[in-house]
Every structure is written in structure tokens, then in C-alpha cells.
Structure 1
């Protein structure tokens, strides 16, 4: 049903951008429906090589994925033939991602366990820089953002995302207090503050969007289910929300799947995403500089 729904919601000439997890049941899990929701927002366009519409990755690119987590962006770039550099503060995540990258790529790649500033990377080492759902964890985001800009070569493109303030505020009172404490979310960015952070660092914004109503509600239902069951709510969210999902989350995923199948479903989704988004996304670019100011790229990385 999910594959059929993707075909209905996209032009017939375009294949689904990414394969859904196998096997796919008639009724998708929250993970399945979250993937479908992301595809409708322009993510994972394998047919055009765009991680997000407007952010294409090719074999000539070196992608730097800061705060890579499970490596969704890194593995997408590997499938496009790019060289990758990925960093995270958690050893287990870097080690597992390195294993997957090695199995899929013949390029020169690098995985680093680090949350320090500066990162041990050369100036201008990447032509594509991804930093998704990381800046909200940083006590001082301005120097962190400057470090991201340093590592992009002139003309490098950036894909950045942080939680939207509406969803963050709605979860207060039901999420545990630790959700808003280090090492979790210590910053809440208004759209204006997020844009200023990017522009003050010297980048030029090319595209902005919000998305993720599905996940705001999913998170709220997750917290409610955990509290009702008397379970401990401590721990990072991304590590806790996984199968088996609470029945309420499963029910919500089915409801969202049914909504997307309606003739007006995608239009309703867009309205709700604008009303109560989970994330805000910026695509930006580092301005071109004179040849004399171009830094030496990291050994093994493809220059811009």
C-alpha cells in the first residue's frame, strides 16, 4: 500500500526516490510512514541525486556529515558515489557507520569520533556540508557554525536543520526535563534566529522549508505512552523511539497513512506542516572567493 501511495502522489514517470524497508506491510510502521512523509517533502531523491530538493550530491563531491548519527545523509552520499567524512560524539555510531561505508564505497572516506572545536579537519575539506538536528545541542552555536563554514570550500553548499520552536514548546510538560538539558536540546531557534546564525557566519541562504507535523504528534504520543506505562523517560529521544513502537504511535502512523491517501491528503499535510512543523531546514552556500584565499583541502578529499 505504501509503494502504491508513493506512485499516486508523484508523477507516473518518476520512480520512488528510495526503496522502503523490506518487507513492507499493508500498514506501515511509524518508521515507514515517516520515510514516506519525508519523501513527500523532497527528501531522498535518488533519481536526481538530491538528498533534499536543491541539494544534489555527485561523484565529484566530498560530503562532510557533522553529527552523523545513524548516517542517513552519509549513506545517501555514498550511493551517489561521493567521498564522505562523518563525525559524531558516539563511538558506536561512528564505528557502525564506518562498517557500512566501507562495504558500499571504494572512495577515500573518513570517520571521526569528536564533539570538540575545532574539528581535526583541514580548511575547505568539503564541497557539501550536512549538519542536521545538531545545533540545538550546542551551548555556543556561533563558534560551532563558524567551524562548519571553515571546513566548506569556496562555493560549498550546506544543508542545515534544527527543531522548529512550535514543536519544541508543545513537548514541554510531557517530555522529560532532561530533553531540554545537555547533552540534549539546550537551544530553541526561532526562524529569525536560525537564519541570522547562518547568515552571520558568512553563508548565503538559497532555500528554506519546514516539515514534520507527523513527527511532532508522534513524539507527543510517544511521551504520553511512556508516561502512562510508568516507564523511565530519561535518555536521548533518537535512541528510544524504535520498534516495538507504542500502540498509540502505531495507530497514529495508520491515521497519517490514511490521510495521505486522500485526494486532498498532500495539501492537508502541507498546511499542517506549516502550522506545527517538527524541523526547519536551510540550504545555504559559501560564497566564492579568490583563488589565493582557497585553503588546501584535506588529503584524499575532492576539492570543489
Structure 2
């Protein structure tokens, strides 16, 4: 009976168009769109993040530059740039991109940043994103960042949020929480204290990135399903083709954002389970002694 009804109302198999393979959705592209919704990469105002504008008058120091997203944004604003990373290949590749896009002064250094061979007050803007969690002794590292900012310099600092870090502990390999990966987990209070005790004044704080918390969980699950050893540098592996689980999650998140009220739902989830916490701070024009 059911079969006859279906045959009556559904077209025959021969009448159906051939199935088309789904178009892959890049987690990187969806993640970039998600970041733009959070106020990142505002080309119209020159703000790397809302409240952190970069102009052609700036010298931007990007410590732990990685693939150079912040450095290249600064280059597009006409700023001079100094960028550092502990990995030679990253500095070399970024230097090529900087030179291809700008004739302004630039300097790339391979360094672990303790110390950096740079003069006091060399930068008007200092960027250090997702680096402090890798540092065994973050206090002297912060002191070095403060040393290199000129009086009045603005700082953009970020570290993983603790809830997402603890959640991943249930699925990430132990090596993810060992040197040279994440050896620190910062509560919001500890992060703020680190910044203020180094002598900076906090201007803005925010947390976001629910998309990437879930994305990393699907990443770890995919690594396990593929039988791969997930030890090593995570961000290097993510540059490789994305696994189906992450692509499926990116498509789901993209569909959510496209729904009426999708942005409001994203903001609720970001506040509930953020991937990163961000501080924008400033070095006082009149320096004070830090105990």
C-alpha cells in the first residue's frame, strides 16, 4: 500500500536529475566570515579588530606572526611592519609576501622572543595573538612586549579561553598540552592581571569563537577516525585539506548564520563557549614603575 502511494506521488528514478556532488565548504572561509562578524579585519576603517586601528603612520610589531594574517593586514593599511616567529619557514614565507605587497620598511626575525633583538619603543602597535599559552614563563615575555612598545602604544593580545581548552582535554592528545604547544591556560582574571601587572592599561575585552571550539573537536575526532597520531603543530596540519567532519560543521555553521536571527544565536554561543579571549590595552604615555 505504502509502496503504491509513493510510486504515485514521487517521480520515477529515471525522471530524477543526476545527483550532484556537494560543493565543499571551507572551514577557513567560514571562520573568516565568523571573525568579520566579530569585528575583525575592518578594511573600511583600517581596524584589525574594532578598537585597534592601524594607519600608515604606524610601525606594527607582530610577535608570533604565524601565517602573517595580522602583518599582511597592517601592510595593506600602509604601515611599516616587524614580524617574528620561532619557525624559520614562516618568517621566510611571510617576508616574501610582505615584499610583494609593500615598499615600506619591514623586518622579519626568527626568534623565541626572549629577548627580541629590537630597540626599546620600536613599535606603535604590538600584536601578540595565541602565543602566550605556549610560554612557560609568561611574565618576562610580557615585559619584553611592553619594552618594545613606545609610550602610548596600543596592544592587541589574545589567548585561548579556558572553557574551550578544558573541553578539548577530553579528546585532544596529551601532547597538545605539552611544550611546544599549550602549557598555560588563562582564566579571564589571570589574563587581565598579566597585562595590567606588566604596566598596560586595558581598554577593551571580548571573547568569541564558538565555531572554532567545535571545529577543533571535529578536527580531533577526524584525526582519531583516520588513525593518525595527532601529535605535533596543530596549525600546520590545518593548512592541509580539511577533513569531511570539519567541512560538514562549517556548512552547518554557515547555514545557521544565514538564518533569520542567526547572528544573535552566534553571539549567545560565543559568550557561552568562546575559543579566544582578547584584550586591547595601551602603554601609558607617562611610564610608571611596575613592581
Q: Give the TM-score normalised by structure 1.
A: 0.86
Match for residue 284 of structure 2 among 274, 284, 287: 287
Contact 2:55 2:77 in 1 (8 A): yes
CA distance in 2, matches of 1:147, 1:93: 21
SS of match in other structure, 2:133 = helix
Change (3 A) 1:169 1:57: same
Match of 2:224 in 1: 227
Aligned residues, how many? Answer: 267
Match of 1:157 in 2: 154
Contact 2:25 2:248 in 1 (8 A): no
Structure 1 position 27, deviation (Å): 5.8
Match of 2:93 in 1: 96
Match for residue 66 of structure 1 among 60, 63, 67: 63
Match of 1:302 in 2: none
Contact 2:219 2:245 in 1 (8 A): yes
Structure 1 residue 146 corresponds to structure 2 residue 143 = yes
CA distance in 1, matches of 2:265, 2:67: 30
CA distance in 2, matches of 1:190, 1:134: 15
Structure 1 residue 32 corresponds to structure 2 residue 34 = no
Over the residues paired in the alignment, what is the CA RMSD in angstroms?
1.4
Residues 137-169 of structure 1, C-alpha deviations (whole Å, 9 max, x = no match): 000000000100000000000000000000100
Match for residue 238 of structure 1 among 235, 239, 243: 235
Match of 2:13 in 1: none
Q: Which runs of 5+ in 1 are unaligned?
A: 1-24, 294-304
CA distance in 1, matches of 2:239, 2:113: 29
Worse-superposed segment, 241-250 or 58-67: 241-250
Structure 1 position 244, deviation (Å): 1.8
Which segments of structure 1 move beyond 2 Å, counting only runs of 4 or more?
25-28
CA distance in 2, matches of 1:116, 1:66: 8
CA distance in 2, matches of 1:263, 1:270: 13
Aligned residue runs from structure 1 range 1-304, under 5 A:
28-289=25-286
CA distance in 2, matches of 1:62, 1:152: 10
Match of 1:301 in 2: none
CA distance in 1, matches of 2:209, 2:266: 9
SS of match in other structure, 1:110 = strand
CA distance in 1, matches of 2:193, 2:274: 20
Larger RCO of the pair (alpha carbons < 8 Å, separation 6+): 1
Contact 2:46 2:54 in 1 (8 A): yes
Structure 1 position 234, deviation (Å): 1.0
CA distance in 2, matches of 1:236, 1:91: 14
CA distance in 2, matches of 1:277, 1:236: 21
Structure number, greater radius of gyration: 2
Structure 1 position 242, deviation (Å): 2.9
CA distance in 1, matches of 2:118, 2:202: 24
Q: Give the TM-score normalised by structure 2.
A: 0.90
CA distance in 1, matches of 2:26, 2:170: 26
Contact 2:115 2:144 in 1 (8 A): yes
